[in-house]
Structure 1
Amino acid sequence: MLKDHFRKSNFMTVTIYIILLILFTSLQNLYLKSIQRDLEADAVFFASEVKAPMAAGKYQEVGRVVQDLSRQFYKSITVINTFGNRIAEVGEFRERDLPLEGILKGKNYVDKNAFQILISRQFSAAVPILFENKIHGAVVVGLPPDEVNKILWINLLFFFTVFFGILRSVLLLKKVDTHIIKPISTMIEVSRNFAAGNFTRTVHVNSLDEIGQLSKELNLLAKKLRITLEELNEKTAGVEDLLAGIVDGIIVVDAQRRVMLINPAACKLVGADSEKSAGKKLISIIRNYQLDEAVKKTLKEGSPYFKEIVLLPREQILKVHITPIKDRAGRISGSVIVMRDITELKHLEKLRSEFLANVSHELRTPLTSIKGFVETLLEGAYKDPGLAKRFLSIIDAEAGRLYRLINNLMDLSKIETNQLKLRIEDVSAAELINEVIIIFENRLKEKGLKFSTDIPKDLPKVKADPDWLRQVFINLLDNAIKYTQSGGRVWIEAEPKGDVVEFRVCDTGIGIPEEDLPRVFERFYRVDKARSPEMGGSGLGLAIVKHIVRAFGGDIRVESRVNQGSKFIFTLKRSK
């Protein structure tokens, strides 16, 4: 076996030196790469700590931060501004071999040439200082000289030892049994492939000694690692799919409130990018200090936290549930933030409250009037025929107002819940407008209003329900006449535009203030709240018009100026 072979052979020394050389070289490379990664990570972290005072020009604060970081991490730190001047420095730093120009253009740098490190006795990394997408300088982080010297002395000591050992056994190297060195070299190469995530290559050694057994174990390890990695990838993909399918926003942060994971729903809610958000502070992604403080409290106390926050400038209302994450030892290692957008829900609750208040008010007014006149009649007013007739006329008018209000509410409810059965057909809007005008002739004469139409003779027919389209024109003309002073003008225009026909109901009335324009189509909304009840308005007419037009597949808008009049413009699809 292999032990007997080594005992009978003088090649043991050479084999050991070769193995040590290969292993040391591999370990040295791994160690140097580890130092490079650590230095670069430290440089990125230090840059994030000084970027705010650097951007503000607070160089004294930068110096204090650098001193604290140097003591804490035992590193040499130098901060350089965009002109190449050193703002703060702890430890030795020579910028002769450092590509400052590239660093100040946004490129990270780290020493990788072992020979250069040996000559310069300097091991450093540098990154730009970025704040709000602008470079304000660079941070250079290096190992203290005594640490670099230790690495160099270890290298020199080892290489001198190996050199003299190999020199001593140079005559024996020619007789080294190749079935030992080659398999070991192959195993080292395969091990590197394993480290890189490649488990497809295996070792083939046809021997029954320890090397052969080791190769079999290495191949078995590769197979198990490959299976484990595939299972892990499947689980990771499943978790990602699960998070992507959840409609609530989910953000996972570590104990320092750095984002570890963010799902697509959360990205959409807060306007973030999942790849760019990883590793950043929560406050830099969601500019809301209430949320940041709530997460801080959860990490400190270890108890769940519920909160409603408002994200500006869109005024999104989010319901947030923060839960701590604990490791096996019971320590808090982070937290999960679950966010749900309840903006629409809050808006609907507000609309419901306003609707109930408005309906109650609209019903109470005529009922109070009816009750008052009935009580007056019962107390003896019915004995006076003239007075009784007058009171009954008022009661009839108020009852009619109640009837119209209830009918409007029922119509609006049917339209909004898609319960209204529409009879869509080709309708001649010109003929329908002429029919509607007849209804308002007397009112136009009574108020002394001028009326006209501007409708082409060949106006195309439109797709609509004739009865409900008639109601649209009645409601719009009624409003135009109601809010136009005596001597004013009311007119209707129609014009084909591509696949639609545009209608405009215009007047020279009192107009609508600019701040009220976005809300005129809301239920119960009145521009002139004091005068509308006197004019018989319930605030439902325009809401009904909007829903009817949209049920026809059209759109409606309003243009108006105070004391200059209004234009209600809506479109309907033209018949083919």
Structure 2
Amino acid sequence: MTPPAPDGLSPDGLPPGPAARLTPNATPPETADGAPDDAWMDALPQAVLLARAGLVTRVNASAARLWGVPQERALGRPVLEVVRRHTLETLLERDGELELEVTGRTLRCAATRSGDQGALIVEDVTEHRRREAELREATAVLSHEFRTPVAALRGVLEALEYDMPRDLSQNFVRQGLQETERLARLVEDLAVGFRPTRARTLPLAEAFTRAERLLSADLHARGAAVSFGADHLVRADPDKLLQVLLNLIENALKYGPAGQRVEVVTAERGTWVEVSVLDRGTPIPDTENLFRAHTRGRAATGQGSGMGLYIVRSIVQGWGGQAWAERRGDANAFCFTLPGVGGLGL
């Protein structure tokens, strides 16, 4: 079945026309043995339309899919009957480039002419534009979030220029180290989506041990504890998996009750392994919105970029999994899945 054309247009919506409308120029050029010599055009991901004197002489396979018009039906038709947009017809007549938003997609269109012959090339750049937007967003967050720790570090260094009691200077040094750690975490959070993936098979216990070691100081300071569920073999980038665990456990420590035990629960879900981080905090309304960029929960206090759960979901979706939050009994559960590679027999 031919897929529907953009903007609600029906497939093969051309009016019937006599074969006499085809002109000698409406057939593609042939090689000496009579075979088309431009079959390579059908392998192009861009939609390509060739025209002469306002009539279509060739559309490749991508163009046929884009406009919902079989290639043979397009030959000899006026350009407007095929593209069904005056904007594109005018572009082909005048040359140039433009971008169109069509049914949620961004299309980059370019046209060129030589005499009465013209070519229209249309490329779907939706994914490219989405990545550009994410990069701009990450850059904006970087600029905003770095100001506070940089200003704090400047204040610490300025204070250390003066003679002061040793205990006071050590306190400033501790503050500086804390701000340095915060800067390092910001860099990790903002760069994680741009690092190449180095997936390997590993036991979840390996990631759990690394997370517990890195969180030990925070756990001690809060009088809290964390427990981990059963081990499973999984396939993931160890550093990105660690980043997900750290973000979720730190959130549980921040927003759950003081001195609580954070539980990390695991379960097999077919060929996937589900990991859930549970805290005993108050119920969270509209959990789906928490995974959007620059969004924080209503109970959030202090400084934060609102990017933590957005980064978690981005990483998890990168390996094909899902990330979500739900209420389980008296606990908030922040969950994600990752590819499993069989049980460990533990």
- Gap runs ≥5 in structure 1: 1-130, 134-230, 299-303, 327-333
Distance 1:394 1:537, change over 3 A: farther
Whole-Å Cα distance in 2 between the matches of residues 341 and 417 of structure 1?
25
AA paired with 1:314? G
Which amino acid is 1:363 matched to? Answer: F
Aligned to 1:424: 201
Partner in structure 2 of residue 528 of structure 1: 296
Amino acid at match of 1:335: G
Match of residue 357 from structure 1? 140
Are 2:322 and 1:556 aligned? yes
CA distance in 2 between counterparts of 1:571 and 1:483 reads 25
Q: CA deviation at 1:367?
A: 1.4
Instruction: Determine which of 265, 287, 302 is the counterpart of 2:62.
Output: 265
Distance 1:538 1:386, change over 3 A: farther
Partner of 1:307: 97
Matched residue type, 1:424 = T
CA drift at 1:313: 0.7
Contact 1:259–1:278 (CA<8 Å) still a contact in 2? yes
The CA deviation at 1:265 is 2.3
Equivalent residues of 2:266, 2:276 under 8 A apart: yes
Flag the structure with larger Rg: 1
CA-CA distance at 1:309 after TM superposition:
2.6
Q: CA offset at residue 475 of structure 1?
A: 3.0
The answer to whether the 8 Å contact 1:483/1:510 transfers is: no
| % identity of equivalent residues | 22
Distance of 1:365 and 1:495 partners within structure 2: 40
Q: What CA RMSD, in Å, does the superposition of the two structures yield over aligned residues?
A: 4.6
Alignment of 1:341 onto 2:113: no
1:237 match: secondary structure: coil
Q: Which has the higher contact order (CA 8 A, sep 6+)?
A: 2
Q: Does the CA contact (< 8 Å) of 2:108 and 2:124 recur in 1?
A: yes
| Contact 2:30–2:37 (Cα < 8 Å) also in 1 | no
Asked if 2 retains the 8 angstrom alpha-carbon contact of 1:492 and 1:506, the reply is yes
Compute the TM-score of the two structures, normalised by the length of structure 2: 0.67
Residue 514 to residue 550, structure 1, CA distance change in 2 (3 Å): closer
Task: Tell me the CA shift for residue 291 of structure 1.
Answer: 1.9
The letter of the residue matching 1:479 is N
- Alignment of 1:503 with 2:293, yes or no, is no
For residues 297 and 62 of structure 2, the distance between their equivalents in structure 1, rounded to whole angstroms, comes to 42
Give the deviation of 1:478 after TM superposition: 1.6
Query: Cα distance 1:372–1:271, how it changes in 2: closer, same or farther (>3 A)?
Result: farther
- How far residue 241 of structure 1 moved from its aligned partner, in angstroms, is 0.8
- Alpha-carbon spacing, 1:527–1:387, altered in 2? closer, same or farther (3 Å): same
Q: Does 1:294 align with 2:91?
A: yes
- Compared with structure 1, are the counterparts of its residues 236 and 528 closer, same or farther at alpha carbon in structure 2 (3 Å cutoff)? farther
Contact 2:200/2:237, CA 8 A, preserved across alignment: yes
Change (3 A) 1:449 1:477: same
Distance between the aligned counterparts of 1:248 and 1:324, measured in 2? 21
Per-residue deviation at 1:463? 4.7
The superposition leaves residues 534-569 of structure 1 with CA deviations (integer Å, 9 ceiling, x where unpaired) of 35668367637854x578x662322458xx945322
For 2:103, the aligned partner's letter is P
With normalisation by structure 1, the TM-score equals 0.44
Kept in 2, the 8 Å contact 1:555–1:572? The answer is yes
- Taking structure 1 as reference, are residues 358 and 366 closer, same or farther at Cα in structure 2, changes over 3 Å only? same
How far the C-alpha of 1:366 sits from its partner, in A, is: 1.4
Partner of 2:183: 402
What residue is the counterpart of 2:342 in the other structure? 575
State which of 46, 49, 52 in structure 2 corresponds to 1:248: 46
CA distance in 2, matches of 1:276, 1:565: 58
Corresponding position of 1:237: 35
Q: Which has the higher helix share?
A: 1
Decide whether the 8 Å contact of 1:318 with 1:340 is kept in 2.
yes
